[in-house]
């Protein structure tokens, strides 16, 4: 009996460990749940005013880049449509000629059938005049050969044009798909812009004031650099005029005003027309893909302004930057085009004194601004 009693003593100890394990598991689960809930409840860190400004600026740049891609695709699509229309007209004309040839051959076949399908020997013996038979047979052979050659030629042309038409249609479909894709990407960027504007709208009055102060400092710094450029350009112009006077002194006083009368005066006249047009657009809204007259995007404005001066330039910033002559920033003259960002996604018209006229971005109007407000890529003089 004592042995049995000693054998039963460990059992309560085993039972006592079970609730301990259950309690520990429950405690761990509670801690994990609380930690996960606290992690889920923790708000995302709010971006600083500087980060908000940088994000919005970058989104506007992306929008500009997407706009140029859309403009490029649209221009290519329009050109391809013209080619396809011309090909379709040519195919229709050639098809009609082939049909005429086929009808002519049909007449020959009908005539042969009406002759009863007699062999040439029988026709010869039954003819009233053997010589006229030979003459008619020779003429018919020549006409048949010519008609067959014409039909073969038309069929060859038709095959070639049909192939071109198929290629053109396929190319047009590809361009249309690309254009649709670019529109989608543009909408994505606009969604990001909306998100950024929403973020701006949620700023407190104090944060908005700080952001406005950052913008004022950015504009002030850009204007300061523009003023420095204006001083340098004025000094360089004065020096050049002085040198011109000294060099032309021996020729009389008229050489000072008469040097470079041809191309210089023509370029100056064009620049005046460009700026006159650009100034007349100030206040009109920026709209991506727009070329006027009610609204513009950046390259649409520059293209329209130079067109008003009688000079045709391409549609996109990427093509406009390759037009005319490259110009250093220090040598800029009114009417020159100034391009911005490494991706060349923006352009403005230089008006002098370090300032430009441009269509800035979505939500803004055509306005005057310092060329140093954005990072400069380079400049060109279209004509």
User: Which residue, among 350, 224, 314, 306, has the nearest Cα to 376 in the 3D structure?
Assistant: 350
Catalytic residue among 69, 94, 284, 358: 358
Distance, CA of 180 to CA of 182 (rounded, Å): 5
**Active-site residue flag, 138:** no
Partners of residue 368 on adjacent β-strands: 357
Residue listed under structure tokens 């069929």: 155
> Per the structure block, which two tokens stand in for 187?
């909408």
Catalytic residue among 73, 196, 298, 344: 298
Distance, CA of 319 to CA of 306 (rounded, Å): 14
**Active-site residue flag, 346:** yes
Q: Return the DSSP state at 213.
A: H
CB-based contact 347:339 (threshold 8 Å): yes
Distance, CA of 354 to CA of 371 (rounded, Å): 6
Q: Return the DSSP state at 283.
A: T
Q: Is 137 exposed, middle or buried (0-12, 13-18, 19+ CB in 10 A)?
A: middle
How would you label 302-323 residue by residue, b for 16+ Cβ within 10 Å and e otherwise? bbbbbbbbebebbbbbbbbbeb
CB-based contact 295:286 (threshold 8 Å): yes
Catalytic residue among 186, 346, 351, 381: 346
Integer CA distances (angstroms), 92 to 52, 81, 102, 310, 321, in order? 59, 16, 15, 37, 41
Q: Which residues are designated catalytic? A: 298, 346, 358
């Amino acid at each position: 009996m004592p042995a049995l009693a000693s054998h039963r003593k460990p059992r309560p100890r085993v039972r006592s460990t079970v609730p301990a394990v259950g309690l520990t598991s429950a405690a761990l689960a509670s801690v994990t749940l609380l930690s996960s809930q606290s992690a889920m409840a923790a708000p995302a860190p709010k971006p600083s005013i500087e980060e908000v400004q940088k994000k919005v600026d970058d989104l506007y740049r992306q929008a500009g880049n997407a706009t140029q891609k859309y403009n490029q695709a649209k221009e290519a699509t329009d050109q391809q449509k013209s080619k396809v229309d011309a090909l379709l007209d040519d195919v229709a004309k050639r098809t009609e000629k082939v049909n005429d040839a086929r009808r002519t051959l049909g007449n020959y076949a009908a005539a042969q059938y009406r002759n009863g399908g007699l062999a040439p020997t029988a026709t010869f013996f039954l003819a009233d005049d053997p010589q006229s038979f030979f003459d008619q047979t020779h003429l018919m052979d020549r006409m048949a050969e010519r008609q067959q050659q014409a039909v073969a030629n038309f069929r060859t042309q038709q095959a070639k044009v049909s192939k071109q038409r198929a290629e053109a249609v396929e190319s047009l479909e590809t361009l249309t798909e690309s254009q649709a894709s670019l529109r989608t990407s543009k909408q994505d960027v606009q969604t990001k812009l909306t998100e950024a504007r929403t973020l701006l709208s949620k700023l407190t009055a104090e944060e908005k004031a700080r952001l406005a102060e950052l913008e004022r400092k950015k504009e002030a710094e850009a204007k300061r650099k523009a003023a420095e450029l204006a001083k340098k350009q004025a000094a360089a112009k004065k020096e050049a005029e002085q040198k011109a006077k000294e060099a032309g002194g021996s020729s009389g006083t008229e050489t000072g005003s008469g040097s470079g009368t041809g191309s210089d005066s023509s370029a100056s006249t064009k620049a005046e027309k460009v700026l006159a047009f650009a100034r007349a657009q100030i206040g009109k809204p920026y709209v991506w893909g727009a070329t006027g007259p009610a609204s513009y995007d950046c390259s649409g404005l520059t293209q329209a302004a130079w067109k008003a001066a009688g000079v045709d330039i391409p549609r996109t910033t990427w093509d406009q930057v390759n037009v005319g002559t490259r110009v250093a920033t220090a040598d800029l003259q009114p009417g020159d085009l100034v391009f911005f960002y490494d991706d060349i996604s923006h352009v403005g018209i230089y008006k002098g004194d370090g300032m430009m006229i441009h269509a800035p971005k979505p939500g803004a109007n055509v306005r005057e601004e310092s060329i140093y407000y954005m990072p400069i890529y380079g400049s060109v003089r279209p004509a």
